[in-house]
């Protein structure tokens, strides 16, 4: 059940329609997050706030522009606030997301994607669109779980040639330049190569470290395929 808790922090969508859903973590507990997201002085907000117990607060009407994304871009376009819904998840950024919370998020996403006619590609993290400043929803968020339900995307490596056997072969770009081109095709904004590698791994390989490797390249090629084919990847 979604309970209303209106925030004064919103504006007009400036003629844009919703084509993205951006996921965040709060760092603060629910009470602290609710207070900040409704504080006119803070000038931040989101459309929804989901607590660890699965309770959902509606802070800003979906027809209005919440102030959650800040500077950044996705798919070559900025002003993400005007074309997105923001969902805040109560989490410190270093802990697993609670099961009731994930179930509530999944139910909300199904409803949102259906009502706005969006695909799984529309669901991104704050760190995806602002890789140089943000890390939420963080390394403990289970993106693959969402993808298995058609609520996010995950690259299908089975459809991509083994880069170690066919370096630069069809479907796998060679080197950092190809990796960055694949990320850009999926939607990632322009940023320093190391910054983009970190943001990419935060979502798809949070345990990985070191320089760009074949697995990174193969996963990025899978994202390009999703962008070209319009699918959700390996569900």
Active site residues: 88
Question: What value does the CA radius of gyration of the chain take, rounded to a whole number of Å?
Answer: 18
Beta carbons within 8 Å of 5's beta carbon, 6+ residues apart: 34, 38, 49, 57, 58, 59
Residue 12 has which token pair?
């007009």
Q: The tokens of 58 are what?
A: 């509606």
Helix (H, G, I), strand (E, B) or coil at 233: strand
- Taking residue 21's Cβ as centre, other Cβ atoms within 10 Å add up to 22
Cα(179)–Cα(187) distance, integer angstroms: 13
């Amino acid at each position: 059940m979604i309970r209303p808790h209106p925030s004064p922090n919103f504006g007009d969508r400036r003629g844009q329609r919703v084509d993205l859903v951006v996921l965040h973590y709060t760092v603060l507990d629910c009470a602290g997050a609710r207070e900040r997201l409704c504080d006119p002085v803070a000038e931040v907000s989101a459309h929804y706030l989901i607590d660890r117990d699965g309770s959902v607060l509606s802070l800003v009407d979906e027809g209005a522009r919440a102030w959650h994304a800040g500077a950044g871009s996705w798919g070559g376009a900025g002003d993400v606030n005007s074309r997105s819904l923001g969902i805040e998840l109560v989490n410190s950024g270093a802990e697993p997301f609670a099961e009731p919370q994930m179930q509530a998020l999944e139910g909300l996403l199904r409803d949102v994607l259906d009502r706005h006619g969006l695909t799984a590609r529309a669901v991104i993290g704050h760190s995806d669109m602002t890789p140089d400043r943000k890390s939420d929803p963080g390394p403990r968020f289970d993106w693959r779980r969402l993808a298995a339900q058609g609520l996010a995307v995950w690259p299908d490596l089975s459809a991509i040639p083994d880069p170690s056997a066919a370096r630069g072969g069809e479907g796998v770009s060679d080197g950092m330049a190809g990796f960055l081109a694949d990320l850009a095709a999926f939607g990632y904004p322009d940023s320093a190569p190391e910054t983009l590698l970190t943001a990419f791994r935060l979502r798809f390989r949070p345990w990985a470290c070191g320089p760009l490797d074949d697995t990174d390249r193969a996963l990025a090629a899978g994202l390009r395929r999703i962008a070209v084919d319009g699918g959700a990847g390996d569900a």
